[in-house]
A and B are shown apart, each in its own frame.
Chain A
Amino acid sequence: MKLKKMLGIILTAAMCTSMLAACGDTGSTSTGSTGDSKPASNGKSDLIRVGIINNDPNESGYRTANVNDLKATFTEANGYDAQFSYSLKNDEQISYAQKYIQDEVDYLLLSAADTAGWDGVLQDAKAAGVKVILFDRTIDASEDLYEASIVSDMAKEGKTAVDWLKSQNLDKYQVIHLQGVMGSAAQKGRSAALTEAAEADSSKWEIVTEQTAEWNAEKAQQIVQSAIDAGKEFNVIYAENDDMAKGAVAALDKANIAHGVGKDVIVMGFDCNKWALEELKAGNWNYDGQCNPFQSSYITDIIKKLEAGEKLSEKTIIMDEKGFDAATITQEDVDKYGI
């Protein structure tokens, strides 16, 4: 009895430590990289000192690509002394920002977890002469607290996709619309374009099913399965991200509905995951809209201008985002834009 109890305790303890170790490993990206930060007086005054606050790289494929892009750009070889920290929590991000301001960085690059709560710390930054550049996410703060904001225009992404769909000149558009988590910026922007197109020409356009699959492939599969079981007719799947398009395609395959280039059903996705672009290249899907995670070139442009003492022509900079057509996509595109 006693032995068994002891064994139980030891087992649990062992598992606890292994679990903690596992957690520690994912968490250490933030502590480890902030730990890297060099002291303020490191003598290399020719380097531009930047503090980068981002969301957790594990959040999504988009974020991983975003973080890798920033890491590849802000290197010592390129003339930067960069410190990185990651958190999905606003208050942690704010304390990182305070730390960077104390370290007297030249630039603070910020992708905020939440839109609210940044006024105070950004005022401190301004007082300390730290220039703030927002990327990817906007915040609710006065415009003069930051130099520039580099964002994706989700409505434009939707419009590009719907324009592409219009250019296909189908006789009839019967669309299954798989939405993301309701209320998110990506969902709103990408849905708006399709809704507008369908309302503008209701003789040709029909939204057969409009459902939120919450970015989830399994849910998308069930929704499309349900539409097929109900015998609904459709010829377009408009999925607001790649995962949902994948789920939809799984349901189509099961019912032997041909999809892709020159087939019965047009499949559209967003985000340009590498595997999705490969599907596109194989002709199984028709269109994939980009959500550009590569912001570093825009940021370095701004920093160069500011360093040269130039004025920026506009505060909000909207990135170029492409849409890929299965008919024209090349292997080069897959390698370059796949995330």
Chain B
Amino acid sequence: MIANKKPSFLSGLLHNQLLIPIAALLLLTVFNLIVDPSFFKITLGTNSDGNPVLSGYLITIIDYGSELAILAIGMTLVTAASGGQDISVGAGIAIAGSVLLRVLCGTESRPETLQTPVFVAFIICCLCAMIAGAFNGALVAFFRIQPMVATLILFTAGRSIAAWVNNNELPIISEKSFTYYGGYLPGIPIPTPFFIALLCFAVTWAVLKFTNLGLYVQAVGINEKTSRLNGLNPELIKFAVYILLGVCVAVCGLIKVSRLSTINYSVIAKDIEMDAILAVALGGNALSGGKFNMGASILGAYVIQFLTTTLYKFDVQSDALSAYKAVVVILLVVMSAPVFREKISSLFRRLRAGSAAA
């Protein structure tokens, strides 16, 4: 009985989507524990404003991983519904950040005080990011252009647009309260991006739980024709997910811009689209669309930041980071290939047969 149960539990685990990100997380954790356990040390200190802050590698991971996780939410939906990825999120963040600063600064590039409340500026930046998302979405949904090709337009033009929004000036905000979003709230030692991410997770969870969005997105991703026959409007759903990704991009833009209180159009959020797509893949979601697991994507995002931080710790040259991530991508692609999965499950079957015979 017990012998029988074990393989089925194993194969159950093998088919669980959370397996890959959890395995990767365990691997990284064990690796760091062996090489240098001080990786997990967290200390409480104060920053230069006198606020208490926690610091340590783990805090860095939840800090920088959070913006990636927020993007991964939108990217998962886009991937599931349209069977392709949006590669313009980095450029979208540049546009969102630029608009945000433009509204906050008004006409001067270096104001002493904020010209508009941050909330209002964020709403406007959100709208702009949604328009950019709608542009991508319209190309994908109504004109049936491949998502990667459609988003290539903003990928190339986005940063120029961002520079144009601010007349290519570099606005700098001296107001202290603006740094809270990408830094720390006074008196709270945990980085704010983590709370923003938690809020986003909660909203996403509620939307997926209480509306049919998740079901519709998967239905469209699995088979567009059948979903149409069942009364869904595939174009509208694809269009909508790109706009939702726009919201995620705007939130990410707020965090990014707040970190340094300024923007550099050509390098802000550079290559973040690759990390976001990798998070979706690491979450075990099929990049060709269909079923998705939001939790796995979010976990995937933190695992990627874990990997990045680990590599930084070992002084890997930062321009070589993408090579290491490429190795992860190759492993993932191989592991998710049907041929490979079949081989593994046949191996398990043989093992089970062997143990039953014994």
Contacts and interface: CB of A to CB of B under 8 A. Distances in A.
A9 B235 CA distance: 12
Interface string B241-273: 000000000000000100110101001111000
Contact of A214 (B45, B259, B260, B319): B319
Interface residues of A, number: 51
A8 B134 CA distance: 10
Interface residues of B, number: 54
Contacts of B270: 216
Contact of A5 (B56, B142, B161, B268): B142
A19 B160 CA distance: 10
A250 B53 CA distance: 14
B165 to A, nearest CB: 8
Interface string B299-335: 0000000001100110101110000000000000000
Given A212-B319, A250-B259, A256-B46, A11 B267 contact: no
Contact of A219 (B45, B48, B131, B318): B318
A221 B138 contact: no
A279 B163 CA distance: 24
A255 interface: yes
Contact of B267 (A64, A215, A255, A258): A215
24 contacts: A8-B141, A9-B142, A23-B157, A25-B164, A26-B163, A58-B163, A209-B315, A211-B318, A212-B317, A218-B267, A222-B312, A225-B60, A226-B57, A226-B312, A226-B313, A229-B56, A229-B313, A246-B262, A252-B48, A253-B48, A254-B55, A255-B47, A255-B55, A275-B172
Contacts of A230: 38, 313
A2 interface: no
B110 interface: yes
A15 B142 CA distance: 14
B64 interface: yes
> Helix, strand, loop or mixed for chain A's interface?
helix
A257 B164 CA distance: 36
Contacts of B170: 61, 273, 275
B267 A214 contact: yes
B260 A218 contact: yes
B8 interface: no
Interface string A179-197: 0011000000000000000
A228 interface: yes
A312 to B, nearest CB: 35
Contacts of A225: 60
A218 B268 contact: yes
Contact of B161 (A23, A213, A214, A252): A23
Contacts of A231: 38
A22 B312 contact: no
A19 B268 contact: no
A213 B318 contact: yes
A304 interface: no
B236 interface: yes
A223 interface: yes
Contacts of B210: none
Interface in B337-352: none
B233 to A, nearest CB: 8
B45 A255 contact: yes
Interface string A275-313: 100000000000000000000000000000000000000
A115 B120 CA distance: 48
B259 A226 contact: no
B110 A226 contact: no
Contacts of B315: 209, 211
Interface of B: 38, 45-49, 53, 55-57, 60, 64, 110, 131, 134-135, 138-139, 141-143, 153-154, 157, 160-161, 163-164, 168, 170, 172, 183-184, 233, 235-236, 239, 256, 259-260, 262, 264, 267-270, 308-309, 312-313, 315, 317-319
Contacts of A215: 267
B160 A23 contact: yes
A188 to B, nearest CB: 15
Interface of A: 4-5, 8-9, 11-12, 15-16, 19, 22-23, 25-26, 57-58, 61, 64, 181-182, 209, 211-219, 221-223, 225-226, 228-231, 243, 246-247, 250, 252-258, 273, 275
B48 A250 contact: no
A4 B267 contact: no
Contacts of B60: 222, 225-226, 229
Given A229-B56, A229-B57, A254-B55, A8 B47 contact: no
A19 B131 CA distance: 11
B235 A8 contact: yes
A8 B243 CA distance: 13
Given A61-B170, A255-B53, 17 more contacts: A15-B134, A15-B135, A15-B138, A19-B157, A22-B160, A23-B157, A182-B319, A215-B267, A218-B267, A219-B267, A219-B318, A222-B312, A230-B38, A243-B264, A243-B267, A255-B55, A258-B48
A219 B170 CA distance: 18
A256 to B, nearest CB: 5
A12 B267 CA distance: 28
Contact of B259 (A9, A58, A218): A218
A64 B55 contact: no
A215 B267 CA distance: 8
A215 B264 CA distance: 10
A15 B131 contact: yes
A26 B267 contact: no
A160 to B, nearest CB: 25
Contacts of A255: 45, 47, 53, 55
Contacts of A221: 259-260
Nearest to B236: A4
A131 B60 CA distance: 56
Which 7 pairs, one residue from A and one from B, show the smallest C-beta to C-beta distance? Answer: A12-B138, A226-B312, A216-B267, A8-B142, A15-B135, A253-B48, A58-B168
A118 B38 CA distance: 56
B22 to A, nearest CB: 24
